[in-house]
Structure 1
């Protein structure tokens, strides 16, 4: 009986402590001074205590690059040879262990490995670590290089997505230049003059009159995405422009505040695609911009700082936008829903979900001439159950086939509008394959 009483008291005590801790943390996050006035030096210990279960989970959970998969064969699997002889090359990035990442250049039509780069993650992280970065990772953290940019001299430009690092390595993996002055994330793309456009965030955000008067309260919290033009020869920044600023200057404050709601990651810029040719609908040098958290894409003209076309949906939380022919753009719609009704929102797979209406990713093609949207690859995506919650890439190949990277699930699918012709995974062991890190088609 005493034992049961002790168990009851312990469980009741734990329940009340959990309720107390939850309400205390809530008060800390909701207070204008971060709880300092009320809780003083106890603020940080309370936060640490509240986050302890999450920290313990991180310690024991598998590495993020591990994807459970027991069925797919390692490397390239070919399901049909029709019209694949003219397929281009592909640059694929994968990880097999912490502090190790490989970049492999393959011939798509044969699966032949042409070249491999293996940069020293740990050394590059140490070189790039910047104490001034308010969102810096802990020292000794692993790196995830994203969307490697390939040059004809076999050098690569890499960003590390979650920290302040942009680096160029030569064909032998040696560092040519390295930058750590801001956060470099998501994509790297080349314009018609050979400059590189990068998606970036300064350490200190801009000041905006639609946000709280207390600028100091949000200047290191707001993720103020910028479009940044870089000289690939030396890493010099030519210019940089805030996407929030662009939208405000062009009269789109209502898009930013459409529900009278604002989050710390309002834009989530994830692709900048420079126009390489002139057309009736854009000029050479215009930029096609993807803002994931607005489910919006737009055409931006840097020479005038004007938005010349903008479209919200029907895609949700899209990644990857591309020009197609002289009158179309392609959008990779993740088509997931975001739930962000938290006090301290963090974008993780736990608050992103597919609906019963949209059960997989979709590729949308907008035709400027006809003002129509089509989804010609729906059957392929449905047949292959393509469901990457975040990230994801696609390219329409010259023969009309499509390349798709299902990033979270570690797969590459290439096929026509209905059937796959090639699948690629990087197997690590009997139970796991590697996640992928934004492969690039090399024409």
Structure 2
């Protein structure tokens, strides 16, 4: 057959013309098919994009279905390697404890699977009240499935209402029964702090990549497209009252060098990295100075904001009206969290002291550092020679209690511990492990001056009555 083909090809000019025409036809036909398939694919993509952008109702259903399917094949990101060989409550010195109930935010597994929850426990670890949160139903219209989402930041009110953030999905306020009073589907995360006027300052983030702002219409020199951190003030009714762009503050206050510093050091460690990337600042706390403390801080006034930026190792105090930075510090902490005004002119900082080992073996573990801006003084509040090992490379919170004790959240280890001023552990709670080798991370442990009797005055006060918040 091959020989016949060669003979005809050489001898028959007509055959060569036929073959050429046939080849041309086949090429055109193949190109047409490819073009048709590509056109259909492009059309499908554009339709899908339009559906997502317009938030057509099936989009939300598909998002939830895809999220559930993905969770069955991917290990949960909130599970961390187990550190401690015990779980539950340990009361090392009950007489030295601060009274009150402890609010926990984490993830627990029930008959229907894993769910983020807010729990109130007493010193024995008994659950006094619980809110079980269905974050995908609550913020189906704002959650970005490509990013992590979990409870991150909360604030409990005396009447049993609680505000909480779903990371990068929004903020909601629910009552003790779990009924949603309002929800705000914006990019809030990390922290919620109440101001003297009843409003709330919340860490916030743009929900899409951006390059410019009204203050910098040509972009920020040295930065590509990124998620922009914002300081956002929310009314008790859930309305946005004020928004301050973090990058605007840094570039307008000659503090952008800290972004450059973090970028350059990152390039030295990993030249192929694209730092600072899409998360140049990583805001993790914004807290107003209470009027009751203002006289103790000579450099500041009531309502000034204490701000923490993890990725640039920077803490500063800002006047929210003039957007003027009054003070800043980038030492002696590394990738810090949760700075607090603690009185007598001092600011306490949760210094993660990250050294890229699992348990902080190079730097010595996580610390609580005190800074007094008007005297430029520093001191270490924790640990002491009497302290147990404590380290979390990411996350973490702390609270100075009324009796001088410290309540510390060891995020990755799933532990909340109360330590006396001398560093001794007087109480701890550790999340029960999962399958022996992992433990759910704990985002927050906060002590509230409430008693079981106070909780009994709430509607739906029983811990057995639990509702998943759903939009009204």
Tell me the TM-score range normalised by the shorter chain. 0.7 to 0.9
Of 284, 293, 318, which aligns to 1:270? Answer: 284
Alpha-carbon deviation of 1:73? 4.1
Partner of 2:94: 81
* TM superposition score normalised by structure 2: 0.69
How far apart are the structure 2 equivalents of 1:194 and 1:210?
29
Alpha-carbon deviation of 1:243? 0.8
Partner of 1:103: 118
Contiguous gaps of at least 5 residues in structure 2: 1-41, 46-69, 265-274, 450-472
* TM superposition score normalised by structure 1: 0.73
Q: Which has the higher contact order (CA 8 A, sep 6+)?
A: 2
How far apart are the structure 2 equivalents of 1:284 and 1:142?
35
Larger Rg: 2
The answer to whether the 8 A contact 1:96-1:428 is kept is: no
Alpha-carbon deviation of 1:438? 1.8
Equivalent positions of 1:42-441 (< 5 A) are 62-69=75-82, 72-84=85-97, 86-97=98-109, 98-108=113-123, 110-126=124-140, 128-129=141-142, 136-137=144-145, 143-161=149-167, 163-180=168-185, 182-204=186-208, 205=210, 207=212, 221-233=225-237, 235-258=238-261, 261=264, 263=276, 264-277=278-291, 278-279=294-295, 280-337=298-355, 357-379=362-384, 383-416=387-420, 417-429=422-434, 431=436, 432-441=438-447
Secondary structure at 1:82 match in 2: helix
How far apart are the structure 2 equivalents of 1:91 and 1:60?
31
Secondary structure at 1:258 match in 2: helix
How far apart are the structure 1 equivalents of 2:135 and 2:235?
23
Alpha-carbon deviation of 1:434? 2.6
Alpha-carbon deviation of 1:266? 1.5
The answer to whether the 8 A contact 2:299-2:326 is kept is: no
Partner of 2:448: 442
How far apart are the structure 2 equivalents of 1:259 and 1:100?
36
How far apart are the structure 1 equivalents of 2:353 and 2:87?
29
Alpha-carbon deviation of 1:247? 1.6
The answer to whether the 8 A contact 1:298-1:307 is kept is: yes
How far apart are the structure 1 equivalents of 2:398 and 2:170?
25
How far apart are the structure 1 equivalents of 2:346 and 2:233?
24
Secondary structure at 1:376 match in 2: strand
Secondary structure at 2:169 match in 1: coil
Secondary structure at 2:153 match in 1: strand
Secondary structure at 1:293 match in 2: helix
The answer to whether the 8 A contact 1:70-1:430 is kept is: no
Alpha-carbon deviation of 1:214? 8.1
Alpha-carbon deviation of 1:222? 0.5
Contiguous gaps of at least 5 residues in structure 1: 1-40, 45-56, 131-135, 338-350
Deviations 1:328-362 (A, max 9, x none): 0000010114xxxxxxxxxxxxx776765403111
Secondary structure at 1:408 match in 2: coil
- In structure 2, relative to structure 1, the CA distance for the partners of 1:129 and 1:299 (3 Å cut) is closer
- In structure 2, relative to structure 1, the CA distance for the partners of 1:160 and 1:379 (3 Å cut) is same
Alpha-carbon deviation of 1:117? 1.3
The number of residue pairs the alignment matches comes to 360
Alpha-carbon deviation of 1:64? 2.4
Alpha-carbon deviation of 1:229? 0.3
The answer to whether the 8 A contact 1:74-1:427 is kept is: yes
How far apart are the structure 1 equivalents of 2:223 and 2:83?
45
- In structure 2, relative to structure 1, the CA distance for the partners of 1:73 and 1:253 (3 Å cut) is closer
